[in-house]
Structure 1
Amino acid sequence: MKNGHRIWDYIRNYKFNSLFIKNFLLILILVVFPLIGTSIGIYIYYGNILKDEIGAAHVNSLSKVKDTMDMVMREIDRLSVRFASDEKVEELIKLNKNEFPDYDTISILQNIIKTISISASDYINSIYVYSDKNKYILSSNRGGTVISYFYDTNWLHEFISQRNIKKHWVSSRRVNDFFAEKYYYFLSSFYLAPLSDPGREGVVLVNLDIDRLKSLFTDENYNQMESIYICDRTGNILFSYDNSQIGMTAESIPELKIALEQENFSDEVREINGVKEVITQVRSQYNDWRYISVTPLNVYESKMRNLVHLMWLMIFIDIATAVVVSFLISVRVFMPIKGIIALLENPESYFQRKKHTQKERFNEFIYIAKNIIKSFDENKHMEEELSRRMDMLKKAQAAALQAQINPHFLYNTLQTINWLAMGLTKDENDVTNVIEALSDILRVSMETENHLIPIGEEIAHAKRYIEIQQIRYKNKFEVIWDVEEDIMNNLIAKITLQPIIENAIYHGIKPKKEKGHIVIQGYAEGDHIVFGILDDGVGMSQNKITALNEELANYYAKDDQHIGIRNINQRIKLIFGEEYGVSLIGREDEGLQVKVIIPKLR
């Protein structure tokens, strides 16, 4: 409450020049315009989504009609081929007119009628088998008779005119059934028969009842305002919910004309005669028919109105939210001014108070104060880090001193022993070879001018150590070198590989009964050089590997085992940095892998 009074006093004193009012207006503008813009963007986005969904819904709905009709036509074609290739149908078509009616013919007719009646499904009105040779026709629903007495003959002219041009076609037609006193609208499939005879003397005619087909295409989601058309490749309307349009050409209906004129037409909103309509088209993959849907867009106007109402509601909420948020942010930004004044009046008290504050959120106004405190903390941390590194350096130096016992005297003494041994045997021997290799190792250790040497020299030094151990442990182990030539001139900390190889021999190979193998790999990896020393010795438990890796990462040691590896790790980190060093990896079969990572330097 006290803070609120101070803010209003500040506003009253400075009025519109106050920092609070300026911040409030600025934040309000910065908040409200993006929110309103976002709301408008969401409206446009979802409006487009709605239009896309309308088109996608019509495409999906029309695709279902197409799939259903393609399935029906496949069944019709399969049925037609079956009849057209039937031996009994072929016998009927080839019979002469004067052979009627004998017993064999009657038997043939009965078998065909029975087969036709069984094959007629829900959407099939009737199936005809007609022979132009004997002028006889069989019907699945009216039996058999000569064509002149048959009630449905308006297809006959089409059959006669098309049979020398096509073997199969589909057309729509209207049939006046005098007996039922009604008109039927058929989608008729013509298949010339018999298939084995090119004489084209007969036909199998399957009549699909268009009214029955409509029931296949309508379900609970069917929109009564939607019109669906099926057109053949020539633009004739084969199917429509309006029977009066069946048999017309697509040119006579503007919506169909638009769809058929464009080769890749899918879905589109067009205004025709002052009415916006969604026109959708899909093509049949089976028979080159086009399925077209036409739906007035006013069916979806209620959804668009709801979307507009939602947009205005969102804008109102955005403005109210922006006012509240702007006020709260302005208050929050204004409050740290008190802290700045307190810092200027009594810096020491401010620092002590901020240091003892456990949960404090950072903001711009206390940036300077926090950075002053931070600088004190960083200086203290740097002193502690420097002290820690000095202690590690002293430990590393002490470890190095443990390995050096008057090296000059020892080197000269070994050279004297070497000459004495050669004087006794009059030639080089294992003793002289060991002494010479050990002298080389001591010579490298005594050189203190450079802590970094080329990798090639480090490998040569390690090989001299291996010579000594192979003389000592004959046939106990074999060393395999796999080091890239390109890294030989890069620099490495002196005496890095030898202690790791020594560790592999004494802790891995020596306790093993069988002959051991040590593989030494070296390769470049990005900006790093990686060495891997792998042995197939007795290995180490995963818990011990984890503990040792933790020690290597944190610069401390619990025991005196593997002191060489720890010393190498400390020297690498001190020379190259924290991201480099030594780590241990257990091998799946047996043994251990020691991995060394150093920077690529020349």
Structure 2
Amino acid sequence: MNGRWNPVSWFERLWIRNKIIAVYIPLIIVPLLILGIVSSRIFTGSLIEKMKRNSIDESNLILSQVNSIIQNTESCANILTTDLNKILSNNPETNDAYGEGQFRGQIESQLAVDLLIFPDVDSAVFIERRNSNIFTSYASTSDKDKEVFRSGILEKLQTNETFGVNHWLPMQQRAFLVTDPQTPVLTLGKIVTDINTGLPFGTLLLNVKESSLSSAYLNMSKGSPNHYFVLDNRGMIISAPEAGKLLKPLQDDELNRLLAANGSFSQVVHTDASSNLVTSDAYDKMNWKLVNVVPMNMLTGDIQKNSWMIAFIGIVCLLFGLVGAGVLSRVIVRPLFRLTKAMRKVKDGDLDSRSDIQTQDEIGLLTSVFNTMISQIQDLLQRVETEQRMKKEYELALIHAQIKPHFLYNTLDLIYVLNDLNRIQEARDTTKALADYYRIALSKGKEIITVGEEIKNAADYLVIQQMRYPDVFDFSIHVPSELLNEEIPKLSLQPLVENAIYHGLKTKGSFGHIDIDGEREGTAIVLRVKDDGIGMSEEKARAILGFGSGERHPASFGIFSVHERIRLYFGDQYGVSIQSEPGKGTEVRIMVPADNSRRKTYV
């Protein structure tokens, strides 16, 4: 199937108990899941459409109130212009303080009286052009009002040819000509002219606080998820419930692009942060946009509660289904489970496992067949094990025979060379060591010798090899005397020593050392062959013992032969282990039991 998941095969591999559960769960969950998804979609769509209509209606009502504030302010400006024109036209120019005081009182009283009719206008200011006097509808004691002459407001009104025309300045927060410097104001400016001559008397400024605009939608948004704010043509927030957002650009780039590309609309906007229902209504008179943002999670809160309720009901139904499956499992599946448990033990290697089901039905018949089959498998494995053991003995004997001639030829060549060089004493010592070596190696056909004999055999081998390679290594042997009478397969140390010389020290490039020692560890004897040669990698160590080499044969016949013979004689818990580090050396450990009784009976 090319690795593709097959639901039919998966279902067939399930236990019967799990099959019952696998059928119960879809029957309960799928209908509830479909019900939850369909009802959620229907309710969400209906709620969003209803919210769109409500938001559009509310926006129209809010803009109607805002428009009323704007028109009232403009009407106030027109009335003040007429009233100021009458006062200014009938007021002769005078330089006396009393006359000036009377004139100021008349102007400021008129400003204050007219504002009583228009509560949306917070304050009114008239700036006389003739003497640059500033008249306010409120008691002003601040000299900051004179900053108006440096602010550019007057010049802007005069250069835009706004004589007799209402001109709205952008929402701003300033420290002059306002009752509260901390509150942003929307200012209407108008040039007051002499109706007889057409010459300007001065400039009239009317201030509308931002709170007057926001009051139009704050009452509507109380207790609702609506969040209104007003944007001007610069993309600045000029009215919002949060004072910290006033006179700042809108931070949501996605919403900015949407507002810039569309006029009036109402739709759901998805961003990385959240999803919102956004309604925008244009107020063309001031080139503003009233925006309402409603978080979708607040809109769908009730729907989510409904979904949680459906999920809770589903969990309850699922629990009932699991209880029912459990009852069926006890009645029908339990005997099969016990038989399966016995089969799994056999699969894990426990061939002594048997099923104790005594029923007379089909499961009882399966149990009887299973128990008979396991007994037959045990007998077969016993026969195979005996045959394999004999085969290993033959193979190891062949490997052993292959190792012995190699050393003999090299030693005879060495004796010949020593005689030829007239080094008679060294030739005699080498001949004696060779004779002792083969006396122990042959051992009258015995495969098990004492540790003392094996140490003597390894020492004879090292004497001969040191004679051949005097500039390559030296050696030392430290084995406690209480270990010398213990037993070990013959030629267990020689292959390890040979490997240390040829693969650890000869290629090192400097003089090396081999150390043989031993100790008792619990009920076992450990003999170690250590060298300070070139070492090897962990992969090479595993390959020497025949693991993970990827080859048909192990990387070293000699060490592998020792390892397998020890395991054959004493069991798999004994044998050879290698610890090595490249560039530092190698330690090869032999572990054998400390008494003869641990040797396998078939050896």
TM score, norm. by length of structure 2 = 0.40
Greater Rg, structure 1 or structure 2? 2
TM score, norm. by length of structure 1 = 0.40
